[in-house]
């Protein structure tokens, strides 16, 4: 008799401890900025609401190779993006939520999955360009390795859509003039 009641209790105990362990384990999708959130953004954004990130990198690299002054708006239009953005911010590995708030001029956004430095030689550091329209994040476009990123912010917090860009000396990329 006791065996019939023992099996369900044992099964329940095992499931309980497994689930408890899951709840205590670190969640790789946990919010990197614990605070009251008005909204939330995970890196990378999954929706390409403005246009293709791959086409953006292709057109940006082509503009850098031409070496002629241009603007981000010209590049994104060539990549067939919509104009529903006004500036871009670089999200480098290990940026803090506070630094990201300052760069974007926003508050109340819980930033999730902020990029970290690479782990080991076989993983490249990854970062993102965060395109915004006013205080609203619209889309990200990723880059790998600082030397291969399409834009060199050259110390600027953001690059406006119509700001003049010129070829950078530091990489195969463009920088604010």
Q: Inform me whether the pLDDT recorded for 157 exceeds 60.
A: yes
Residue 98 has pLDDT above 90, yes or no: yes
What is the number of other CB atoms lying within 10 angstroms of the CB of residue 58?
15
Residue 13 lies in a domain: no
Total domains in the fold of the chain: 1
Q: Is the pLDDT of residue 13 over 90?
A: no
pLDDT on residue 5 = 54
Q: What's the pTM? A: 0.75
Please say if the pLDDT value at position 26 is more than 90.
no
Domain that holds residue 124: 37-176
Closest CA to 30 of 86, 99, 112: 112
Count Cβ neighbours within 10 Å for each residue of 137-172 and write b for 16 or more, e otherwise.
bbbbbbbeeeeebbbbbeeeebbebeeebbbbeebe
Please report whether residue 122 resides in a domain: yes
Band of residue 29 on the pLDDT scale cut at 50, 70, 90: very low
Q: Is residue 12 part of a domain?
A: no
Residue 145: inside a domain, yes or no? yes
* Residue 22 belongs to some domain of the structure: no
In this structure, is residue 139 part of a structural domain? yes
Residue 48 has pLDDT above 70, yes or no: yes
In the numeric block, which tokens belong to residue 171?
A: 């990489």
Binned at pLDDT 50, 70 and 90, residue 150 comes out as confident
**Residue 98, domain member (yes or no):** yes
Residue 167 lies inside a defined structural domain of this protein: yes
């Amino acid at each position: 008799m006791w065996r019939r009641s023992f099996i369900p209790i044992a099964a329940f105990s095992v499931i309980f401890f497994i689930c408890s362990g899951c709840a205590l384990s670190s969640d790789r999708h946990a919010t990197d900025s614990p605070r009251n959130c008005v909204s939330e953004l995970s890196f990378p954004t999954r929706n390409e609401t403005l246009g293709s990130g791959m086409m953006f990198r292709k057109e940006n690299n082509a503009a850098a190779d031409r070496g002629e002054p241009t603007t981000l708006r010209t590049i994104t239009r060539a990549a067939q993006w919509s104009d529903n953005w006004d500036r871009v911010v670089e999200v480098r590995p290990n940026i803090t939520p506070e630094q990201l708030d300052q760069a974007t001029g926003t508050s109340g956004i819980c930033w999730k999955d902020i990029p970290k430095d690479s782990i080991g030689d076989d993983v490249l550091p990854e970062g993102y360009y965060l395109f915004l329209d006013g205080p609203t994040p619209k889309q990200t476009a990723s880059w790998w390795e600082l030397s291969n990123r399409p834009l060199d912010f050259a110390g600027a917090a953001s690059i406006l859509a119509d700001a003049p860009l010129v070829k950078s000396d530091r990489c195969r990329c463009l920088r604010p003039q």
